[in-house]
Amino acid sequence: MITLRPGTRARFSTNFYHQTWHVLSDPHGALLLSRLLWGLSFQRQPNTVVIIDGRFVDPNPFDAEQGDPIALVPADLTHLPARAVRHLSRRFAVPGTVSGTVRWHTWGLDAAVDEWRAQRADGTWWRRWRPEEDARTVEVERLNGVLSMRASSSLLRRWAVDVATMGDYVYKGMSYTELDGPEWELCRSDGEVQTFRDYHRRVSVAKISRGEVLAAGNAPGEPAELRPLIWDRNAAVRSRRRQRPAGTPV
């Protein structure tokens, strides 16, 4: 089991929206995720798994529900059943279980990124949808409180390039890429990575909004009813922050 170094600055979150699981972060987190995916695709040790554990997982930037730890799973090497996820969850929740460090190599990723950008520039990008990839089923699903992202080595490499280049196209500070399988379908994805330039500010605002809604005393108990109230409160919290004098608490 490979985890991030304690001093890692990147932060992530997760949520389930439009029937799709999302991994959420900022551009820095996306670059780290791309290198984790790329390096994992070349691993040869059976039963290898990369865990982004709770130390690096925020409440989500929309309604501040706590995100889930993330497991990156190479389908060629590792089978991660739900009972194994439960065991891993207990293990990485206990401090002091580190048994060593590894040097994570991502040779070839930069060249693959340059090649993909060149394909987009010269109009040959469509060939990317016909790669000779393992047709193994892609799984992006929640297992016992952990978001599992599982794919063959070739698909992990494609995901790595897509995540590394997602910042090439930004709309109002947001960019995204879909985590598709080898058989791409229009208007459907197995998962998605989404980044915001102001990710950390969004998380902070959502946490304040959630606290204020819950403090009102009449907040609904069902998440489906609670979330829209927090979404609405976010705009008021952002407006209040813009209007307060510098140095004044929120």
pTM: 0.89
Residue 248 belongs to some domain of the structure: no
Range of the domain at 219: 200-243
| Whole-number Å distance between alpha carbons of 49 and 89 | 12
Are 217 and 98 contained in the same domain? no
Are 204 and 114 contained in the same domain? no
Please enumerate in sequence order all residues whose Cβ is within 8 A of that of 128, keeping only pairs 6 or more positions apart, or say none: 116, 119, 158
Please say whether the beta carbons of 37 and 159 come within 8 A: yes
Number of domains in the chain: 2
Percent of the chain with pLDDT over 70: 84
Phi first, then psi, for residue 131 (nearest 5°) are -75, 160
| Whole-number Å distance between alpha carbons of 71 and 92 | 11
Residue 143 belongs to some domain of the structure: yes
Are 187 and 220 contained in the same domain? no
Q: What is the mean pLDDT of the chain?
A: 88
Are 177 and 206 contained in the same domain? no
Average pLDDT, stretch 91-96?
Answer: 62
Q: Which of 180, 197, 214 is the last residue of a domain?
A: 197
Residue 249 belongs to some domain of the structure: no
Residue 250 belongs to some domain of the structure: no
Are 111 and 205 contained in the same domain? no
Residue 166 belongs to some domain of the structure: yes
pLDDT digits (tens, 9 = 90+) for 123-150: 766 665 555 455 556 889 999 999 999 9
Are 181 and 233 contained in the same domain? no
- Residue showing tokens 């949520």: 15
Are 83 and 183 contained in the same domain? yes
